[in-house]
Amino acid sequence: MTIRWKPVVTGVVLAGLVGGVGYAVQQKLAPPAATQPGGPPGGGPGGGPGGPRNSVVAVQAGTVAREDVPIWFDGIGTVQAFNTVTVRARVDGELQRVSLQEGQLVKAGDLLATIDSRPLQAQLAQAQAKKAQDEAQLANARRDLERNMGLKEFASRQTVDTQRALVAQYEAQIRADEAAIDAVQVQLNYTTVTAPLSGRIGLRNVDQGNVVRASDQNGIATITQIQPIAVLFTLPEKQLQAVLAAQAQGVVKVEAQDREGRRVLDTGKLSVVDNLIDSGTGTIRLKAEMPNDPQKLWPGQFVNVRLLSTVRRGATTVPSTVVQRGPQGTYAYVIKDDLTVEQRPIKVARQEETKAIIDEGLTPGERVVVDGQYRLQPGSKIRIVEPIASAAPVGTAPAAAPEAAPAGRTPNQQQDPAAREERRRERQQQRENNGGAPTPGPGPGAPREGRQPS
């Protein structure tokens, strides 16, 4: 009898298709599996936000606090020397000696350089000799005047007056000689160059042996006063009234930080508020004075500046991550006693990098969600977890490498305590089924899975 294979093959294919469709519909209509121990929290098989409403979400919690909060204004500033002086020669001459050293700290009056003084000493000797000559002539004129006045009626009036004028002339000449001597003496003092103020010397512009002149613009060296030191910075004009109010109360504290804003370099006080606002940038310039001891600030250095405007007493504060923003404004998730959350609108007075001040919506002592809000909705059930350490402490020994995971299991399952406990129970159950003997492994002659022995 001849068998018709085409109808048979067609029937088998149709039966397979119907069975596959039925299996797919059954899996679609089946309820979702319960979350396995050690799996991620949240609704759905993966713990995502699309899970059931009654799923438990793991969050981190914090407490609303009441504390005194300093209000800081942040700006960017530049360090500037408190005073800067260019040391120049005030007389012409050869630079015979340079006593200064580059980078040296000097005090006011310290010797820096010496200029050749011999030409000025010669001028001083000439002026002194001229004064002595005029003094001799004055003495002679005075004696003549005395003799003429002693003749009485035998000396004419004109002769006496002429002699009296000659005495006055020599007296004036002597005063001119004294002024000339003083002028040369001042010039002679300029041949010794001293520090006009205390500070640090920069790079030297002239070497020993060169001829310096009073008209030179570069000078010999520059001295900058860096103790104390000044910091120039800007703030938005809207903060000007708060700064002026703080200045009226007393000394305003100012901090200079490094560029990353992590380390305070120095702490000083506000000294000057500029008398006009820059209309182009809408900012106001301010100047602070820093003691700079030790010398962590340097002229020309860029720093972050913080100005303490006031201290808000008894403010309601939360971590900054508590504050969430939505279409209706800012809100926070408040944790109830039954471990469900409530979405509550709040009014934020000020928010900084780590802390926010709340005016309305929260009460000190309430618990709020600090992290994990993106998986929440009003009424969600939560469980509170501790923050995970970001990294192992420095100096700790590295953890031992995990054992190789068995076939069919991932390394994450190997490290999960719940998964290890489950595998231990499976092995115990296998031992009980085998009468306490260990589970036999596949030997060399054991048949492979899926094949019958011949």
Per-residue 3-state assignment (H helix, E strand, C coil) for the chain: CCCCHHHHHHHHHHHHHHHHHHHHHHHHHCCCCCCCCCCCCCCCCCCCCCCCCCCEEEEEEEECEEEEEEEEEEEEEEEEEEEEEEECCCCCEEEEEECCCCCCEECCCCEEEEECCHHHHHHHHHHHHHHHHHHHHHHHHHHHHHHHHHHHHHCCHHHHHHHHHHHHHHHHHHHHHHHHHHHHHHHHHCCEEECCCCEEECCCCCCCCCEECCCCCCCCEEEEEEEEEEEEEEEEHHHHHHHHHHHHHCCCEEEEECCCCCCEEEEEEEEEEEEEEECCCCEEEEEEEECCCCCCCCCCCEEEEEEEEEEEEEEEEEEHHHCEEECCEEEEEEECCCCEEEEEECEEEEECCCEEEEEECCCCCCEEEEECHHHCCCCCEEEECCCCCCCCCCCCCCCCCCCCCCCCCCHHHHHCHHHHHHHHHHHHHHHHHCCCCCCCCCCCCCCCCCCCCC
Question: What confidence category does residue 162 fall into, taking pLDDT thresholds of 50, 70 and 90?
Answer: confident
Say how far apart CA 384 and CA 371 lie, in whole Å: 10
Say how far apart CA 235 and CA 76 lie, in whole Å: 8
Asked if residue 290 and residue 336 are part of one domain, the reply reads no
Residue 128 lies in a domain: yes
Q: What is the pLDDT of residue 146?
A: 84
Asked if residue 60 and residue 76 are part of one domain, the reply reads no
Q: What is the pLDDT of residue 107?
A: 93
Asked if residue 328 and residue 307 are part of one domain, the reply reads no
Number of domains in the chain: 3
Asked if residue 308 and residue 229 are part of one domain, the reply reads yes
Q: What is the pLDDT of residues 313-327, one digit of tens each?
A: 999 999 999 999 999
Q: What is the pLDDT of residues 169-203, one digit of tens each?
A: 999 999 999 999 999 999 999 999 999 999 999 99
Say how far apart CA 385 and CA 57 lie, in whole Å: 10
Say how far apart CA 121 and CA 93 lie, in whole Å: 13
- Say yes or no to pLDDT of 365 above 60: yes
Average pLDDT of the segment spanning 278-294? 93
Mean of all residue pLDDT scores within the chain:
81
The better pLDDT of the pair 150, 305 is held by 305
Q: Which two tokens stand for residue 454?
A: 């011949």
Average pLDDT of the segment spanning 213-219? 89
Residue 400 lies in a domain: no
Q: What is the pLDDT of residue 32?
A: 47
Asked if residue 297 and residue 329 are part of one domain, the reply reads no
Residue 363 lies in a domain: yes
Asked if residue 237 and residue 183 are part of one domain, the reply reads no
Of 266, 293, 312, the last residue of a domain is: 312
Of 280, 312, 344, the last residue of a domain is: 312
Q: What is the pLDDT of residue 434?
A: 53
Asked if residue 332 and residue 367 are part of one domain, the reply reads yes
Residue 289 lies in a domain: yes
Residue 278 lies in a domain: yes
Q: What is the pLDDT of residue 17?
A: 74
Asked if residue 143 and residue 167 are part of one domain, the reply reads yes
Residue 202 burial (10 A CB sphere; 0-12, 13-18, 19+): middle
Contact 339, 55 (CB under 8 A): no
Asked if residue 344 and residue 307 are part of one domain, the reply reads no
- Domain at 358, CATH number: 2.40.420.20
Residue 267 lies in a domain: yes
Residue 360 lies in a domain: yes
- Domain at 246, CATH number: 2.40.30.170
Asked if residue 292 and residue 234 are part of one domain, the reply reads yes
The better pLDDT of the pair 333, 33 is held by 333
**pTM of the entire structure?**
0.61
Asked if residue 364 and residue 342 are part of one domain, the reply reads yes
Q: What is the pLDDT of residues 414-433, one digit of tens each?
A: 445 555 555 566 566 556 55
From the list 73, 75, 77, the residue with the least C-alpha distance to 302 is 77
Domain that holds residue 286: 72-81+224-312
Of 384, 401, 431, the last residue of a domain is: 384
- Domain at 164, CATH number: 1.10.287
Question: What confidence category does residue 25 fall into, taking pLDDT thresholds of 50, 70 and 90?
Answer: low
- Say yes or no to pLDDT of 338 above 80: yes
Amino acid at 123: Q
Average pLDDT of the segment spanning 280-307? 94
User: What is the separation, in whole angstroms, between the first and last Cα of the chain?
Assistant: 33
Q: What is the pLDDT of residue 26?
A: 61
Residue 393 lies in a domain: no
Asked if residue 295 and residue 249 are part of one domain, the reply reads yes
